[in-house]
């Protein structure tokens, strides 16, 4: 592709493949000036390595910032599916219970990605005006992330304020 950068605009995981990182960096650089090109680059990065969780994160953030909430939700759900596949746990957060889980979502990048992406799903639901659905996601997230490593408490406060 021949893209080169003086500095990275976003620091992704140190384990991100270099070619995926290069596409994501180019996409981030184009987000404000050429959103169509940015979207194309984000999609290319994801197609290049669908196992790279950072490409899901970057793409759902892009769609969210562009107020394309249905697209953001679709990518969030795909990211949750891929993280669960990689982590060997059920992708449906409603089937995950902290007291029963044989895995620790805090122990690795995949589990943490899952928690942060679940928080993103709740925020997207709030932005869609689906307060009860957001609260359902958040109630499960509280069980999965009792130490609030994902920062979901901020979204919980927003949901509580919107419900009043």
pLDDT band with cut points at 50, 70 and 90 for residue 15: confident
pLDDT band with cut points at 50, 70 and 90 for residue 6: very low
User: In the predicted model, what is the mean pLDDT of residues 82-111?
Assistant: 78
Of 163 and 84, the one with more pLDDT? 84
Report whether 144 contacts 116 (CB < 8 A).
no
Predicted TM-score of the model (pTM)? 0.88
44 alpha-carbon distance from chain centroid = 17
User: In the predicted model, what is the mean pLDDT of residues 10-35?
Assistant: 89
pLDDT at 108 (0 to 100): 79
pLDDT at 11 (0 to 100): 66
Q: Is the C-alpha dihedral spanning 91, 95, 101, 102 positive or negative?
A: negative
Two tokens, residue 2:
């021949």
């Amino acid at each position: 592709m021949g893209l080169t950068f003086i500095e990275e605009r976003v620091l992704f995981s140190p384990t991100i493949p270099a070619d995926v990182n290069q596409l994501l960096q180019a996409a981030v650089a184009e987000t404000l000036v050429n959103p169509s090109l940015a979207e194309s680059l984000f999609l290319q990065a994801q197609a290049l390595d669908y196992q790279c969780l950072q490409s899901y994160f970057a793409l759902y953030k892009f769609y969210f910032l562009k107020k394309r909430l249905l697209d953001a939700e679709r990518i969030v759900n795909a990211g949750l599916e891929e993280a669960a596949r990689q982590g060997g746990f059920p992708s449906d957060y409603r089937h995950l219970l902290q007291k029963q889980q044989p895995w620790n979502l805090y122990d690795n990048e995949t589990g943490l990605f899952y928690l942060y992406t679940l928080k993103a799903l709740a925020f997207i639901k709030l932005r869609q005006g689906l307060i009860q659905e957001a609260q359902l996601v958040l109630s499960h997230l509280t069980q999965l992330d009792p130490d609030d490593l994902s920062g979901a408490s901020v979204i919980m406060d927003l949901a509580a304020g919107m419900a009043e």
